[in-house]
Amino acid sequence: MKFRALASIVAALALCGAQAAAVEPDGTLPLNYRPAPDSDEGGLWMMADTLEKNMQASPLLVRDPALNAYVKGVMCKLVPDRCRTLRIYILDIPYFNAAMAPNGSMQIWTGLLLRTRNEAQLAFVLGHEISHYTLRHTIAEWRRARSTSGTMAFLTIATAGLAGLAYFAALDSLMSFSRDEERAADMHGAQIAADAGYDPTQDATLWREISAEETSRPKRDSEYSFTRTHPTTAERLTTMEKNAESLKTGRANWMVGQDACRRAMQPFRSQWLEEDLSLGNYEGSVTLLNTMIADEPASGELRYYLAEAYRRRNADGDSAKAIAAYREAVATGNAPPAVYRGLGIAEMKLGDKITARDAFEKYLAALPDASDRTMVEYYLTHL
Ligand SMILES: [Zn+2]
């Protein structure tokens, strides 16, 4: 962006309380809303447009048509009128996060999709984000709280032309809302998701699980996480549950959508679990995997990753836990071949050479073209 344009945005943003275009009486946006370009909100939208272009060009953007169609489809069930105007960008970043820019472009990170275990949970997150947009929280927050230095920090980052994790995380940290706005987004978002038929109790269920996972991690990485800007306080959960109770009286047949959600995420799940483990926060991964296994006890894939979390954590007693979990994975009959490699390594570590040899042989038989075949053969010659 040229300096002249940058300067004019700073000037526009400095005009706190500038005249905004007309909005609906309840404060929500008309469908074709676009602020005047010379208003402070117009400047904010221009920055959001830059962010959106960077998302479109980012190597982190997940372009898979089926996954995008699924997530967008859930959004369209919530706000059919806005289906054509709101945009969703899925970014391959293994943290639980989503954010809505003021111009109607939403980013969703794959760590969030890994953790929303049914369509209703995804719908409540989307409803929350859509509400930040329709209630125009970004400009409200901006007018109330932003200093010129904050504006400059935002501009510097938003116009930096970067597109990696640090960029998105830095932007996210500058887009935070007040408690009242978060409460309003929770309430309004829950209402539109419930109006679309999604089971209101799934909202608090999701947040309880996210909270349990966060507290199980001794090494917090909350600078990248939605929970930094959306703390799962007892008050928030209680309000959500009370709200769900009153919403529930509206109808009898609520939609959860577990199968549809699982089908949409399945092609990516193993990659996302691998990325989650690569963060090295094994306690959180164990909590997450146990929650997922409670839903799908017959999944060899999930049991394999649970075993991997124990083996890679490598604390006292973890080899035995890993071996037990690998064996449970094998018993499902649908574990990935890598289950035998992991089992072999864990048994070798505990000194059971015969079992380790047997496992490595099974691995190579199941996956003759394994990329680590040379290493496994090396293990076999030393057993
Ligand atoms: Zn929020």
Nearest Cα to 199, choosing from 137, 261, 133?
Answer: 261
pLDDT of residue 181: 87
pLDDT in tens, 250-285: 788 999 999 999 999 999 999 999 999 999 999 999
pLDDT of residue 6: 43
Same-domain pairing of 243 and 349 = no
- Of 149, 181, 144, 151, the closest CA to residue 47 belongs to 151
In sequence order, the 6+-apart residues with CB closer than 8 A to the CB of 298 are: 332, 334
Residue in 344, 264, 339 with CA at minimum distance from that of residue 301: 339
What's the 129 CA to ligand 1 centre distance in angstroms?
A: 6
Distance (Å) from CA 229 to ligand 1 centroid = 7
Q: How far, in Å, is the centroid of ligand 1 from the Cα of 51?
A: 18
> For residues 311 and 293, what is the distance between their CA atoms, to the nearest angstrom?
18
Instruction: Write out the residue range of the structural domain in which residue 312 sits.
Output: 297-381
CA–centroid distance, residue 107 to ligand 1 (Å): 13
> Which residues touch 73 (CB under 8 Å, ≥6 apart)?
none
What's the pLDDT tens digit per position in 195-216?
Answer: 999 999 999 999 999 989 988 8
- Judge if 145 and 71 occupy the same domain: yes
Residue 82 sits in the same domain as residue 145: yes
Q: Are residues 24 and 168 in the same domain?
A: yes
330 within domain boundaries: yes
Cα distances (Å, whole numbers) of residue 244 to 101, 188, 189, 190, 248? 27, 12, 12, 8, 6
pLDDT at 291: 95
For residue 108, report the distance from its CA to the centre of ligand 1, in Å.
13
**DSSP assignment letter at 118:** S
What CATH number is attached to the domain comprising 360? 1.25.40.10
Pair 172, 317 in one domain: no
Nearest partner of 339 among 321, 360, 316, 318, judged by Cα = 360
Alpha-carbon separation of residue 61 from 66, 82, 333 (angstroms): 14, 22, 34
28 CA distance to ligand 1 middle (Å): 16
Q: Do 234 and 362 reside in the same domain of the chain? A: no
CA distance 185 to 28: 12
Q: How far is CA 333 from CA 127, 301, 337, in A?
A: 39, 10, 10
CA 179 – ligand 1 centroid, Å: 9
pLDDT score of 148: 55
For residue 15, report the distance from its CA to the centre of ligand 1, in Å: 25
CB 43 within 8 A of CB 16: no
Q: Chain-wide mean pLDDT for the chain?
A: 87
Q: Of 187, 218, 248, at which residue does a domain stop?
A: 248
175 and 98 fall within a common domain: yes
Q: What is the pLDDT of residue 233?
A: 84
CA gap 84, 104 in Å, rounded: 11
| Beta-strand relationship, 105-109 and 98-100 | antiparallel
In a domain, 17, yes or no: yes
What is the domain count for the chain? 2
Rounded CA-CA distance 292/302 in Å is 7
Amino acid 224: pLDDT: 67
> What separation in Å is there between the alpha carbon of 132 and the centre of ligand 1?
7
Q: Are residues 201 and 301 in the same domain?
A: no
What global pTM score does this model have? Answer: 0.88
Residues 209 and 346 in one domain: no
Span from the CA of 185 to the centroid of ligand 1 (angstroms): 6
- My answer on whether 150 and 20 are in the same domain is yes
146 CA distance to ligand 1 centroid (A)?
17
Distance CA 258, CA 240 (A): 21
How many angstroms separate the alpha carbon of residue 227 from the centre of ligand 1?
9
Instruction: Determine the straight-line distance between the first and last CA of the chain, rounded to whole angstroms.
Output: 62
- Centre of ligand 1 to C-alpha 137, Å, is 9
89, β-bridge pairs: 107
What's the rounded Cα separation, in Å, for the pair 193 and 122?
Answer: 10
Report CA(230)–ligand 1 centroid distance (Å): 6
Low-confidence ranges of the chain (pLDDT < 50): 1-21
Residues 6+ apart with CB under 8 A from 164: 58, 59, 60
